[in-house]
Amino acid sequence: MRQPEVRELENTEFEAWDALIANSAQGTVFHTSDWLVENALLLDQTLILLGCYDGEELIGGCPLYLSRPYRLLQVASSKAVSTPYGGVVISEIGSARQRTKEMHTYRIIAAILEHIDRQGLDYVNIVNAPGLEDIRAFTQQGWSPIVYYTYVLPMQNDLLKTASKDVRQNIRKAERQGISSARIFDPEIFWNLLARTFAKQGKDPPITEKHLTGMLELIRAKGIGEMRVATMPSGEIAAAEVTLWDAKMAHSLFAAAAPERLSTGAATLVCYETVNSLKERNHRALNLMAGNIPHLSAFISGFNPRLIPYYGAESPGLRYRILKRLRDGVNPNHAR
């Protein structure tokens, strides 16, 4: 069996990349070339789209965002703002036996990791999509594994029957107050809610207004998602949620609520009506995210979704380890 070739893809190969994504169990909207290119541009980071070839056939790959924190380190990550995961994608090989599938997966991942290792990066963090269930190739090459969690809600559920009592009560509370929701695509509305939410916490939003607006405009232009807004009877904006989708499932990307309207149930109502809207358009499942943030997990788990693990791995170089030890020594609050 010949050794796969791993190299950076050219723009002219993006069509082949997107075809791989569409047919791979690991492929998501976050892997598509449009999403990757726009996100890297707005982050002012360099996108490296690694393709793994068997002869002329593209059989796998991995996108990476390159950055230089403190202008000292070369860091690569498959995760970025507005991209919760990415990581390795593997071509499908049909009804092959389990051993053949495992060898196929290992062969592709090992080739990609060997290529990354030759680049001399100071730190690499790959967070894979939930579709990649086997990361033994990472651990066998010395990478440190990390387990993450997300919540996936099957669309066949009737939330008024399966959700928790708190969720059902909040939906009814919002309806009694005359709160309603509608599909409104307005980046300014969402930014205002997000900025107010984090200002109350004394924090900056995790995304800039320019970045948020750019990604929302991409979603609208490509027809890959929607924004739903909940309003009070007075017309005041109470909550909003941004959802995008691919052929496999929908993904809850951003959500925010007016701090003074948190007790109204508006955030619960907008999530409930987003689910109903997706169900009407035959989406099979909604990835609600939030499995790694305790206070959000407490809210999302009330919708009775399935808790799904997904896997990452990191490879810190010597310079990164030294600088991390120095930083953690100066500020112990940064230590893991």
With 60 as the cut, is the pLDDT of residue 334 above it? no
With 70 as the cut, is the pLDDT of residue 331 above it? no
- Residue 304, both tokens: 């009775």
pLDDT of residue 332: 52
CB 297 within 8 A of CB 119: no
Confidence of residue 90 (pLDDT cuts 50, 70, 90): very high
Architecture of the domain defined by 5-148+310-334: 3-Layer(aba) Sandwich (3.40)
Other Cβ atoms closer than 10 A to 105? 22
How far apart CA 183 and CA 172 sit, in angstroms, is 20
Using DSSP's 3-state secondary structure scheme, residue 186 falls into coil
How far apart CA 286 and CA 152 sit, in angstroms, is 6
Q: What is the DSSP letter of 220?
A: H
Using DSSP's 3-state secondary structure scheme, residue 154 falls into strand
Q: What is the arithmetic mean of pLDDT over 284-305?
A: 93
How far apart CA 143 and CA 50 sit, in angstroms, is 18
H-helix segments, the chain: 14-23, 33-43, 98-117, 136-140, 159-162, 165-176, 187-200, 209-222, 266-280, 294-300, 318-330
Average pLDDT, the chain: 93
pLDDT of residue 219: 97
Angle at 69 between CA 324 and CA 42, to 5 degrees: 145
Q: What is the arithmetic mean of pLDDT over 140-163?
A: 93
How far apart CA 239 and CA 236 sit, in angstroms, is 9
Confidence of residue 1 (pLDDT cuts 50, 70, 90): low
Give the contacts of 140 (CB within 8 A, at least 6 positions apart): none
pLDDT of residue 30: 97
Using DSSP's 3-state secondary structure scheme, residue 308 falls into strand
Percentage of residues in the chain with pLDDT exceeding 90?
86
Confidence of residue 335 (pLDDT cuts 50, 70, 90): very low
Q: What is the arithmetic mean of pLDDT over 50-71?
A: 93
Task: Let me know if the fold of 5-148+310-334 is the same as that of 158-303.
Answer: yes
Percentage of residues in the chain with pLDDT exceeding 70?
97
Query: What DSSP string describes 249-285?
Result: -EEEEEEEE-GGGGGGTHHHHHHHHHHHHHHHTT--E
The pairs formed by 201-208 with CB atoms below 8 angstroms and a separation of 24 or more are 206/81, 207/81, 207/82
Q: Minimum mean pLDDT among 72-86, 105-119, 169-183, 222-236: which range? A: 72-86
Q: What is the arithmetic mean of pLDDT over 183-208?
A: 93
CB 85 within 8 A of CB 310: yes
Question: Would you kindly state where each structural domain of the chain is located, as residue ranges?
Answer: 5-148+310-334, 158-303
With 90 as the cut, is the pLDDT of residue 59 above it? yes
Is the torsion defined by CA of 107, 111, 114, 116 positive or negative? negative
CATH (residue range 158-303): 3.40.630.30
How far apart CA 33 and CA 54 sit, in angstroms, is 21
Q: Letter for the amino acid at 139?
A: T
Query: What DSSP string describes 231-253?
Result: E-TTS-EEEEEEEEE-SS-EEEE
